[in-house]
A and B are shown apart, each in its own frame.
Chain A
Amino acid sequence: MTLAPSSIPHRDSLSKAVGAERFSTDFSPPGCLWAGARRAGEPHARIKAVHTAEARAVEGVTAVLTGADVPGSNLQGIIHKDQPVLATDTVRHAGDAVALVVAESREALARALSRIRIELEPLPGVFDPELALKPGAPLVHPGREGGNLLSRGLVEKGDAPGAFAGCDVVVEGRYETPMQEHAFLEPPNGTARTTPGGGVEMVVSTQAPFRDRFEIGHALGLDPMRIRVRAPYLGGGFGGKDGATVQCLLALAALHCGGRWVKMCWSREETFLAGYKRHAARMRVRLGAARDGELKALDCSMHFDSGPYAHLTVEIMALALEHAGGPYSIPHTRIEGFCAYTNNPVGGAFRGFGVVQASFAIERSMDALAARLGMDPGELRLKNALRMGDANCAGVAVESPSGVTQCLEAVMAHPAWAERAAWKAGAPAFKHRGVGIAASLNAMGYGRGLPDSAAAKLELTRAGTFRIFNSVPDMGQGNAAAFVRMAATALNQDPAVFELVQPDTRLCLPAGSSSASRTTYTYGNALLKACEAMHAKLKARAALFLLADEPDRLRLAPGAVVDEATGRSVPLSMIGAMLSRDDRICVDQFAMPVVENPPDTGKEFRLGFPHRYFSHGACVCAVEADELTGQVELKSCVTAVECGRVFDALGVERQIQGAAAQGAGFALLENLAVDGGRILAGGLDTYLIPTSLDLPGLECLAVDGDEPTGPHGLKGMGEVGVHGPAPAVAQALQDAVGLAVRRVPVEPEDVLRALRGEKA
């Protein structure tokens, strides 16, 4: 009954499968207190009073805190700090935390939370990112220069307004995408306590432990270097744990627990209410081309709904503008973006970071163009695909090999596309079939303006095994296992002799967040450099034992350093036992290179614009629409990706399937509907994500590329697979029932309306 592993299984897989791996939520020290936040419930209001006496009187309650109890700035935010830890005078969205309770048990906590009375005077709210910019709109942050306009950005190349005059065809459309919930399965949670030296120690489900220290330190006026953050494996993140969720509240609670551990775990409903969302976006696109399909000009404007706080909205908009032209060569572009404050839930990072929205708009525009020109939508995309040396829509030349052509060719050769005519003809009674195609690209890393760096530490243990001090959390994407494979390959050792220390700001060295498809590339490169140093060191130290005066002739073998010239070898355990701790450690660092001559555009973006490296993808989706119910079934979804050299085929496939599943949910199911600032679908019973019955096989075709600067030639690929399904499904539905899809998710009513011949 034993199974032969198909490839080396990820090392954490088994411990997770048997339930032995400890997530931060499984960390429950004995005698742990519980903390919880009382949320406002109103989208916009003045706080007149917070009555806490009744809550304080509940048995087992140890602290009830309000905004007045927050030391420091009381402001959190990764880059733009405008979100209070506890709201003091104004509530700006229904999920704002107004009070924090600490209690001996969860039962006491719940009782106390329900007894806090908040006196609110409702204020008129603003819930639409375009209306928010109109004169007279209610202000989310009164007195702020710019009103509700958080930021405007412009990316230009050539002369788009002029170039439209020379186009044979121009298509124009307005597109809309909704907020999306991450729905990671492990809710935001953590455990913290103060340490005797006046510091804070925390175990938390986070994508950015090193940055968290500074965010907590700033918000609460604490010394960041006395904050220790540990990040065990995450139960999913997808961007939703990039930025403080529980961190600041938890640290605040810890300050009132006299050294006892305190735990905070958001319920699913609280996660919906207070967690970050993929930004809702409105997009207007004009796209012009010559009669033969060659793209000439793009004019695009986008509005992003930031919610009441900036969080990462400006950076997300920057990425959206940079990707608004898709993976295509367009000589003249004008791309404008606005992000507006509203009283809706807070927008934030979500796999695809602005590119998902932009991708939907440009891909739908390409479909409209193909239809107008009577061209095959796949051929139109191929014809305009970015190739090495072309400038992308932001004016940055494609430097590293661009795989968009290969990706398109791969999916077009797949039967799902190549044999679509026959498949459609075989539609059963009352069903309509259609097939759509889309292409995409996704930048890797932070881009210009901030160092995208990581430092790696590798230790030879006294026993002759190795310990990797991982600095970037693994939220399920498998980077932790990839690091072991990389190091094992580099040092020619069995992966089993590597122990992996999960991110801990005290033990590991600083690195950026687990985000932006950067993790494996950046930390991987740092680790490989540390491995090189270790390699040289092991040979140099072994040379002492082996009396070899040319260490270079020595070779690393599993468990030993070998001198082939003499046939002698020295075990690593002997080297480990002989070296002092300092000498057993190798450290190195890496920073992702940036665009050297950035184009003279996008000046508003100080951080994260432009990017130098991209991964590429293409996707074909086949759907079947039921003419009686309007239900749409995704019948197949084939994604090809180019993410440099394929180092771990199974790893690539897993990531792409997971990304495609989230894209499919975005296309057909997931609508975080908000009305007047209140979330209508606020739990997993009403907000539907795909189940095993909603998804087809999700095929992945990996196109082998080679990124010369990447570790083992690879690039990041966590995000690129999420873009395809929404536009490909949209085109498939147009193909099936003639529905001109302009927003997702597509609802059965939309399909029925199209079948009745009504306009969308």
Chain B
Amino acid sequence: MREDITVTFTLNGAQVSIETSPGRRVLDLLREDLGLPAAKEGCGSGECGACAILVDGVARLSCLMLAAQLEGREVVTAEGLGTCENPHPIQAAFAASGAVQCGYCTPGMTVAASELLARNPSPDRCEVREAVSGNLCRCTGYVKIVDAVMDAAEAMRGGDS
């Protein structure tokens, strides 16, 4: 067995240092060791997107990342986007537009959407579809999800256009 390593990174705005085995999946590190279960496991092999997190602002699949890869990075999970009391506009829009059914895909979806809106504040519906196409949803047929991202984009632009 290999020695444990210490990984230091920023997690939802706070500095974290944790001892772990270098081969630990980031998904397990977050869910089990750090108590942040928003990122979900749907496939464990990079197909479903339910485990998506932001690493240095880019949506990444935490089931395919190893703990050591987080060293010095900035990580944001759905918990870091917002809370029930103070949701991120994307989270608020998902809740308001009926984009959440079982909700298992939702944290990953909102993470993918937040990456899109950070880089393109005025996407069209095609761009939204493209951006979330790596995230499977079995419940919604995606219509309300696209609606939600469009609404959120508008809200984040301050309601213009």
Binding partners A and B? yes
Q: Does B64 contact A (CB under 8 A)?
A: no
Q: Which B residues are in CB contact (< 8 Å) with A4?
A: 96
Q: Please report which residues of chain B, range 1-60, place their CB below 8 angstroms from some CB of chain A when the two chains form the complex.
A: 28, 31-32, 36-45, 47-48, 50
Contact (Cβ within 8 A) B156 A1: yes
Nearest Cβ in chain B — how far from A499, in angstroms?
Answer: 14
Q: Which B residues are in CB contact (< 8 Å) with A5?
A: 95-96
Binding site of A, secondary structure by majority: helix, strand, loop or mixed? loop
Q: Does A395 contact B (CB under 8 A)?
A: no
Contact (Cβ within 8 A) B37 A12: no
Q: Closest residue of chain B to A684, judged by CB?
A: B47
Q: Does A689 contact B (CB under 8 A)?
A: yes
Q: Does A256 contact B (CB under 8 A)?
A: no
Contact (Cβ within 8 A) A654 B95: no
Q: Which B residues are in CB contact (< 8 Å) with A692?
A: 128-130, 132-133, 135, 137, 142, 145-146
Binary flags per residue of A122-151, CB closer than 8 Å to B gives 1, else 0: 000000000000000000000000000000
Q: Does B121 contact A (CB under 8 A)?
A: no
| Total number of B residues with any Cβ neighbor in A under 8 Å | 67
Q: Does B110 contact A (CB under 8 A)?
A: yes
| Total number of A residues with any Cβ neighbor in B under 8 Å | 64
Q: Which B residues are in CB contact (< 8 Å) with A685?
A: 45, 47
Q: Closest residue of chain A to B147, judged by CB?
A: A6
Contact (Cβ within 8 A) A20 B83: yes
Contact (Cβ within 8 A) A235 B40: yes
Q: Closest residue of chain A to B142, judged by CB?
A: A692
* C-alpha spacing A596/B86, complex, angstroms: 54
* C-alpha spacing A371/B51, complex, angstroms: 49
* C-alpha spacing A478/B87, complex, angstroms: 21
Q: Which A residues are in CB contact (< 8 Å) with B42?
A: 185-187, 235, 268, 684
Q: Which A residues are in CB contact (< 8 Å) with B91?
A: 14, 17-18
Binding site of B, secondary structure by majority: helix, strand, loop or mixed? loop
Q: Does B144 contact A (CB under 8 A)?
A: yes
Partner of A476, one of B50, B102, B128, B146: B102
Contact (Cβ within 8 A) A185 B100: no
Q: Closest residue of chain B to A184, judged by CB?
A: B138
* C-alpha spacing A12/B139, complex, angstroms: 15
Binary flags per residue of A180-212, CB closer than 8 Å to B gives 1, else 0: 001111110000000000000000000000000
* C-alpha spacing A691/B105, complex, angstroms: 12
Nearest Cβ in chain A — how far from B86, in angstroms?
Answer: 9
Q: Which A residues are in CB contact (< 8 Å) with B133?
A: 691-693
Contact (Cβ within 8 A) B136 A684: yes
Binary flags per residue of A505-519, CB closer than 8 Å to B gives 1, else 0: 000000000000000
Q: Does A567 contact B (CB under 8 A)?
A: no
Contact (Cβ within 8 A) A657 B141: yes
* C-alpha spacing A730/B152, complex, angstroms: 37
Q: Which A residues are in CB contact (< 8 Å) with B48?
A: 185, 268, 684
Partner of B101, one of A25, A187, A476: A476
Q: Does A617 contact B (CB under 8 A)?
A: no
Binary flags per residue of A9-33, CB closer than 8 Å to B gives 1, else 0: 1101111111111110110100000
* C-alpha spacing A28/B106, complex, angstroms: 20
Q: Closest residue of chain B to A267, judged by CB?
A: B44
Nearest Cβ in chain B — how far from A26, in angstroms?
Answer: 4
Partner of B155, one of A3, A187, A234, A691: A3
Shortest Cβ-Cβ A-B pairs, 9 listed: A19-B38, A16-B103, A476-B102, A235-B104, A661-B141, A19-B78, A13-B95, A684-B47, A657-B141
